[in-house]
């Protein structure tokens, strides 16, 4: 009970405290958008099916962690939207919220009778955020996935190498699109303070990946040359490489200025290179790479990873160990800076996952609610919308609604 009270106290001091959100989100894009708002203090209700809930609760393999990762700080509202009673219940709830997020397939919310125009008639102040594969235009009817738009938008090509387009190693387009939706929602909330009116916010996968590719499009216009994939990019810096260590690891080192080079040589004891005028400038080192790089690889291979990283830090040059995602659980900085929170696993136990990478006045945004069970926490908004407990129980018996009371807020049928 004390933890619950502490969580409630923290929630009331957050930027979006008092903002209510219905999230009709699935997979990553919609839930990522909703999670950002939830982390910032909004009261987010994840709308999912009674019984089974969101499909991401049951994914295996690569997708096994989707639900766990993108649904903290939310409550679950399990409604059968295909039933007339479920649709009417949702519209009744729409009257009580500030924001609705949906990332269903094109045309789905209109077909269900809960599209933007219907919802905004019930609540003119509603901000209706629609997250899709494409903005309105020739592709708007298409289904899209993160990997699809990475191929279409040039990201897979740039990840390369040539002839072997490769998706990025995380769902970057889904997450970026969700973040863009959250930015749009925040802007619309700010405008509503002045106008009193809600509006439709749109964000999309394809346009988000195009936004990422803007730097390469601009570069092609400036140079007149199409940029090669990143593994084959031209040399801007003389040393910008992975180096193998004595104990079988890899460390990346980037030397991006002549000052870096001098500190590197002094710290690592390579004073013979400081006396070589050919290596005094970045351009000179680029021209001497065929001789310099193999020798540098040989010298650094005498060091183990810890030794190499300690010297690189002493030299104050950019460096990084090549880590895997699970290495981040024990990362000294993430743990020391409070960048991880412990999230409960469905089968028991806990895992440390990254917090929202944002601070306001030095304050981060912590875990307040664990990812919910199906229907957990729904009683709050149902009662706010005027449903008494007898009516809730009737909808549960009809299969329209599923409610799983939180331990601190038991929901009992009135007698």
DSSP letter, residue 4: H
Cis peptide before 161 (omega within 30 of 0): yes
The verdict on residue 331 lying in a domain is no
In angstroms, rounded to a whole number, what is the distance separating the alpha carbons of residues 340 and 361?
19
Choose one of 292, 326, 360: the last residue of a domain: 326
Q: What is the pLDDT of residue 11?
A: 65
Are both 176 and 239 inside the same structural domain? no
Are both 143 and 273 inside the same structural domain? no
Contacts of 111 (CB under 8 A, 6+ apart): none
Q: What are phi and psi of 207, to 5 degrees?
A: -65, -30
CB of 311 closer than 8 Å to CB of 251: no
Choose one of 283, 301, 326: the last residue of a domain: 326
Q: What is the pLDDT of residue 415?
A: 23
* CA count, 13 A, side-chain hemisphere, 271: 2
| Angle (nearest 5°) at CA 219 between 216 and 224 | 120
pLDDT one-digit tens code per residue, 341-380: 999 999 899 999 999 999 999 999 999 999 999 999 999 9
Are both 197 and 269 inside the same structural domain? no
CB of 67 closer than 8 Å to CB of 363: no
Contacts of 39 (CB under 8 A, 6+ apart): 72, 73, 355, 356, 365
CB of 131 closer than 8 Å to CB of 103: yes
The verdict on residue 345 lying in a domain is no
Residues in the chain: 415
DSSP letter, residue 339: -
| Angle (nearest 5°) at CA 121 between 117 and 122 | 120
Choose one of 291, 309, 326: the last residue of a domain: 326
- Extract the tokens encoding 178: 């969700």
Are both 101 and 188 inside the same structural domain? yes
- Nearest Cα to Cα of residue 158 among 207, 206, 235, 226: 226
Are both 81 and 174 inside the same structural domain? yes
The verdict on residue 346 lying in a domain is no
**CA–centroid distance for 287 within its chain:** 41
Are both 241 and 204 inside the same structural domain? no
Q: What is the pLDDT of residue 365?
A: 96
The verdict on residue 218 lying in a domain is no
Report residues of the chain scoring pLDDT below 70: 1-11, 405-415
| Angle (nearest 5°) at CA 331 between 328 and 336 | 130
Are both 14 and 151 inside the same structural domain? yes
- Extract the tokens encoding 175: 């997450």
- Extract the tokens encoding 317: 């040059």
Are both 122 and 160 inside the same structural domain? yes
Are both 87 and 140 inside the same structural domain? yes
- Extract the tokens encoding 238: 């003389």
Does residue 174 sit in helix, strand or coil? helix
CB of 251 closer than 8 Å to CB of 321: yes
Are both 155 and 248 inside the same structural domain? no
The verdict on residue 352 lying in a domain is no
In angstroms, rounded to a whole number, what is the distance separating the alpha carbons of residues 378 and 101?
17
What are the CA-CA distances from residue 405 to residues 244, 270, 305, 410 (Å)?
54, 66, 50, 5
Q: What's the CATH code of the domain at 25?
A: 3.40.50.10540
In angstroms, rounded to a whole number, what is the distance separating the alpha carbons of residues 266 and 96?
65
Are both 38 and 135 inside the same structural domain? yes
- Extract the tokens encoding 409: 């807020």
Burial of residue 133, with CB atoms counted within 10 A of its CB: 0-12 exposed, 13-18 middle, 19 or more buried: buried
Are both 43 and 185 inside the same structural domain? yes
Beta bridge partners, 102, equal 24, 130
CB of 77 closer than 8 Å to CB of 23: no
The verdict on residue 63 lying in a domain is yes
The verdict on residue 162 lying in a domain is yes
Count of CB atoms situated within 10 Å of the CB of 181: 29
Q: What's the CATH code of the domain at 278?
A: 3.30.1540.10
The verdict on residue 225 lying in a domain is no
Distance in Å from the first CA to the final CA of the chain: 26
pLDDT one-digit tens code per residue, 223-267: 999 999 999 887 789 999 999 999 999 999 999 999 999 999 999
Structural domain including 322 reads 233-326
Beta bridge partners, 379, equal none
Helix (H) and strand (E) counts in the chain? 18, 12
Domain count, the chain: 2
């Amino acid at each position: 009970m004390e933890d619950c009270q502490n969580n409630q106290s923290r929630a009331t001091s957050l930027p979006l405290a008092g903002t209510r959100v219905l999230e009709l989100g699935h997979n990553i894009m919609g839930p990522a958008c909703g999670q950002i708002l939830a982390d910032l203090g909004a009261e987010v209700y994840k709308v999912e099916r009674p019984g089974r809930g969101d499909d991401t609760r049951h994914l295996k393999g690569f997708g096994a962690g989707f639900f766990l990762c993108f649904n903290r700080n939310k409550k679950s509202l399990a409604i059968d939207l295909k039933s007339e009673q479920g649709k009417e219940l949702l519209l009744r709830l729409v009257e009580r919220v500030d924001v609705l997020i949906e990332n269903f397939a094109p045309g789905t919310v209109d077909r269900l009778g809960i599209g933007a125009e219907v919802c905004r008639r019930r609540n003119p102040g509603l901000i209706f955020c629609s997250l899709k594969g494409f903005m309105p235009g020739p592709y708007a009817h298409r289904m899209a996935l993160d990997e699809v738009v990475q191929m279409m938008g040039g990201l897979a090509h740039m990840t390369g190498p040539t002839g072997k387009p490769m998706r990025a190693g995380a769902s970057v387009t889904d997450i970026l699109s969700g973040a863009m939706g959250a930015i749009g929602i925040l802007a619309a909330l700010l405008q509503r303070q002045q106008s009193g009116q809600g509006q439709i916010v749109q964000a999309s996968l394809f346009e988000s990946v195009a936004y990422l590719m803007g730097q390469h499009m601009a570069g092609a216009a400036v140079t007149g040359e199409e940029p090669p994939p990143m593994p084959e990019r031209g040399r801007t810096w003389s040393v910008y490489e992975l180096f193998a260590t004595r104990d079988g690891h890899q460390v990346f080192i980037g030397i991006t200025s002549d000052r870096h080079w001098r500190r590197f040589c002094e710290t690592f004891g390579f004073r013979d290179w400081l006396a070589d005028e050919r290596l005094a400038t970045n351009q000179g080192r680029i021209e001497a790479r065929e001789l310099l790089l193999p020798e540098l690889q040989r010298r650094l291979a005498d060091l183990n990873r810890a030794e190499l990283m300690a010297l690189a830090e002493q030299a104050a040059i950019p460096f990084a160990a090549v880590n895997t995602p699970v290495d981040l659980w024990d990362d000294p900085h993430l743990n020391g800076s409070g960048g991880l929170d412990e999230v409960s696993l469905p089968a028991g136990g806990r895992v440390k996952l990254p917090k929202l990478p944002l601070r306001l006045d030095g304050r981060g945004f912590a875990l307040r609610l664990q990812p919910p069970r199906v229907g957990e926490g729904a009683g709050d908004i149902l009662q706010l919308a005027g449903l008494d407990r007898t009516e809730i129980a009737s909808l549960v018996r009809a299969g329209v609604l599923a409610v799983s009371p939180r331990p601190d807020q038991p929901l009992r049928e009135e007698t």
